Structure 1
């Protein structure tokens, strides 16, 4: 806790003194970093030294004319490390920017003949305009800008609700109640938050407007119709209408950026940046590299602006492929991202690691003000997921001691940390807060590889993370979400505060569609009647223990068993039963399509039947540390558990069951004043 942080702070000066000296120093000027990378590759090709190579980047903004590309030619021939290091405090931060500054603003005024004609009306007074042609090094491919940052803060694109137009679905888009102003809608983008599926928010560009008709881009409309399984509903939101934006927001056409400052009578916007590139750093085949004290900013993701649009499956994955990162590492070995900052990014993910990468660590870094997610690990390639050669696997990732704030602000279906098919991965001691969707998502595949041949996912651990105010924009997510069989994996000692999702649960083990397995006799090979809860479909082999969920409208732990594949053979371990408590053995009440969950007290006590549904987990854990808002519950000598517990959804997605509870062994029971549940031993 606090003592650990104090110790790390005390060791920082010593760490600086022990760092190897700079081999090469890079000034903060446009293009200097690319020249330095070429020089490093040249030096390494003829290097005879066995010492580390240290590339020191001076403080300031390093504007990138194109994304920085690194490859095997930048690896040390002796296997030593190549270190890319930013300036230490109190110097200015070392920022690698994929954007450009906006320096030539003009005030919109109906009294000024120099005002651009698009903002010459009196309603535009107080708005500032910047010509796209005046943005340094801009290309048409970057327009209209999807993001704008002013004074170090994200300025949202202006968004309006669509009720005023009373849209009704047609074969090519929508029909409005009255005439739609074509100039306003020329660069508009439609949004469907939780309307197509609970956990996604598709985006489609408007192709054109003709009278009362709003014609949606055809490829995106086709993808949206397929995703919905029929005609899509009217979008709830429309973004980037070319009308005067509210304070602190902007709108953008191919010709101008329009921004209204937060302070109405100030001067032109200062420190304003727009994105030019989708990537900052693209590395393929790196071995033994370290990135230290670097800041990454001002990248974007253009796919939602294309005719194909953005219609995701989950976690920003679309039929067009996987979402990219502003910083991407492919086929990496022994790469460390240490003490870096990812801020003010419009990318799908800030950092992406995959393509059979191994032994990659992300430690002590901060992620804030992100359009999408923070960290993406592994891939969602169902074919490579069945690989048996270790060289083809994504494995041995460590995501530790990072802070993530304000993630999925625009692409609101992004998980803050998203891991696809991975193994031997640890996600621990991270702090995640203010996210649009799930905090930590681990696994992929739904029911694809539940039965028969298994993927290489295994030995993954989500431990001691603190997550607060998550799933604030969409639904059907949680603090921790798992998917797919992952033997020898754990979810433990995590704290979840204010999961806003009104359904499912804070610790969410998803199953996905697959046929039920054949029955097995107890003790036969493949029998999973171990102590705890297991589910034979979907998220198998997880041991979920000693987690705390507080102040959420949904249950603590949730087993998803939809689409004709209910959660089967789920087992939960309670604390040791009291002597004399009776057994309720007997026929298991069955819901449609499967068996109920089973409560199995430890140490030989008789098995107890527990209906699937919104039961109660037994409490009795030590009081969590780090200042959690817990108090001792009064009554029953602190022995009766009363927190919300396990919920399971059966066939058709319906909840069923009833509240149940039983006494735990003597000991302290802690309960948040707003409602806390504590998972004991839960294997899914």
Structure 2
């Protein structure tokens, strides 16, 4: 086994030894390829800035990229970053400004902490809307073409974003023209009937972001693309010379395509962005990690006169680290943080394992798995993710055969904890979710939809999970939905949710068993289960102390199996 070393203060003209390390991951990759892939690349502590994504292919099979000292008390912390430090600040009227040229980004990190874009709560006065935009009172915005409207809960589970094309002001009124085709697509997509009321289009924005006139509170920024200027209002104690400000530049940090037996251990992946929502198409979110890019819609009838339109086809929010059609890839003990899309995306392939990783401060999901077989997601801690695209689940699995999601812990997320779409043989075991559904509605700590197999032998199993504090006023903490079939839900503990579960959904559940679960409220429909549902041996506890005592063994086995520092 060959060993090569990389350090931020190394040199690519050196041999890659411990005392004379390489400077770049690309140089270490070339060295590993030269010895046939039988190599470990040791990353020293510090920030390893990428100027382009690290692309691993079949030629890189067998290579391990790991932190120096991995698994020992001397383990170092290398950060693989797609960011750009910002300097040369000028300070005026309490705002820092820096020339950034053609930089396009949606995130900013100050001393390692994400700071939001400056925003206001909505349009003033009594605005009206039409298919091209809005009429409202005078606004006085400084760079309206950079402004973005956010629409929370167009549907209870959606949060959309549309850009502004321009603002024409005439005295005390203003006409806001929205960017196309995004706003037109919003009128195509969002059409609903609820409780006898019909809505069309996105409605009024719930939040408006990214204009210099919004920059009134400390710890917020604005990117003025028209002038190529970044503006930041500092927090108390920050200094334009000493404070480290980083903006992400790359959209992909690492892509593994078609390789075998590649491993990443003990690395931090940080500072990547995703600029697609800033385009004229906007971000027309529908469900989970999916968004609309035109192509038509269909109507789902949800019973009792309720209906929504939904996309014929959806695009998926990308991940900043991608594993595509690869086999035997291991991602272990890594941290994914300060990323402007999803953290880790796995598509296709066989036997990919994600173990013992931390995910935080991500714009979208932590882990997305689509297609492939035998993926294992275990012992990961996911928290404070989906901070920009609130409908993104913490962990989402779809189209996979034999996926196992085991002993993960998820807390403080705006929508679902774990989502399982159609597939075969998913096992969702001993996970702990706490404080899910904090922003959007109609989801749960664990949510399954669609066909999960074609028999009990290859159906989904949801067992030994603990789901606590599912927050919004419309949710089902443990949620089988939208025609879920061949699912066994047993031995789970559900407490402190608005609703524990629901047995009557549209399309109806088929071949679903709820057995031996413990909760603090009866599921909706428990007293008259539909034909497709078996409901047996479940216990409802009215006293939390009694419930905790009766379920202590299940609760002790759920969540992380490793020791972690909070």
Range into which the TM-score falls when normalised by the shorter chain:
0.7 to 0.9
Q: Distance in 2 between matches of 1:551 and 1:242?
A: 42
- CA shift, 1:269, in A, is 6.2
- CA shift, 1:417, in A, is 0.4
Matched, 1:406 2:384: yes
- CA shift, 1:239, in A, is 1.0
Matches within 5 A, 1:50-89: 52-75=38-61, 81-88=62-69
The aligned residue for residue 368 of structure 1 is: 360
The aligned residue for residue 431 of structure 1 is: 409
Unaligned runs of 5+ in 1: 1-19, 76-80, 109-124, 134-139, 380-393, 445-456, 512-537, 576-587, 603-616, 622-628, 634-642, 644-667, 677-684
The aligned residue for residue 542 of structure 1 is: 487
Q: Secondary structure at the match of 2:285?
A: coil
The aligned residue for residue 505 of structure 2 is: 561
Q: Distance in 2 between matches of 1:56 and 1:403?
A: 24
The aligned residue for residue 128 of structure 1 is: 96
Q: 2:317 aligns with which of 312, 316, 323?
A: 323
Larger Rg: 1
Q: Deviations over 1:146-175 (max 9, x none)?
A: 100011111011121114243211220111
- CA shift, 1:510, in A, is 1.2
CA 373–560 in structure 1, closer or farther in 2 if over 3 Å, else same: farther
- CA shift, 1:371, in A, is 1.2
CA 630–284 in structure 1, closer or farther in 2 if over 3 Å, else same: same
Matches within 5 A, 1:630-649: 630-632=544-546
The aligned residue for residue 661 of structure 1 is: none
Matches within 5 A, 1:237-636: 237-243=207-213, 244-254=215-225, 255-263=228-236, 266=239, 268=241, 270-320=243-293, 321-347=315-341, 349-354=342-347, 356-379=348-371, 394-444=372-422, 457-487=423-453, 488-511=459-482, 538-552=483-497, 554-559=498-503, 561-562=505-506, 565-567=507-509, 572-573=514-515, 595=530, 617-619=538-540, 630-632=544-546
- The answer to which structure, 1 or 2, has the higher relative contact order (CA under 8 A, 6+ apart) is 2
Q: Deviations over 1:535-560 (max 9, x none)?
A: xxx111111112112222x2211246
- CA shift, 1:26, in A, is 1.6
> TM-score w.r.t. structure 1 length?
0.67
- CA shift, 1:69, in A, is 0.9
CA 437–54 in structure 1, closer or farther in 2 if over 3 Å, else same: same
Q: Deviations over 1:480-519 (max 9, x none)?
A: 01111113211111111211132230011111xxxxxxxx
> TM-score w.r.t. structure 2 length?
0.81
CA 42–228 in structure 1, closer or farther in 2 if over 3 Å, else same: same
- Across the two proteins, how many residue pairs are aligned to each other? 489
Matched, 1:170 2:130: yes
Q: Deviations over 1:345-371 (max 9, x none)?
A: 112x100010x2110000011111111
- CA shift, 1:414, in A, is 0.7
- Say if 2:504 and 2:530, in contact at 8 Å, map to a contact too: no
Q: Distance in 1 between matches of 2:133 and 2:46?
A: 47
Q: 1:192 aligns with which of 151, 170, 176?
A: 151
Q: Distance in 2 between matches of 1:265 and 1:571?
A: 56
The aligned residue for residue 100 of structure 1 is: 84
- Say if 2:486 and 2:512, in contact at 8 Å, map to a contact too: no
- CA shift, 1:434, in A, is 0.9
Q: Secondary structure at the match of 1:273?
A: strand
CA 280–151 in structure 1, closer or farther in 2 if over 3 Å, else same: same
- Say if 1:589 and 1:596, in contact at 8 Å, map to a contact too: no
CA 499–436 in structure 1, closer or farther in 2 if over 3 Å, else same: same
Q: Deviations over 1:594-647 (max 9, x none)?
A: 956766657xxxxxxxxxxxxxx52479xxxxxxx95127xxxxxxxxx9xxxx
Unaligned runs of 5+ in 2: 12-22, 192-199, 294-314, 454-458, 518-525, 556-566
- Say if 1:187 and 1:242, in contact at 8 Å, map to a contact too: no
RMSD: 2.7
CA 406–572 in structure 1, closer or farther in 2 if over 3 Å, else same: closer
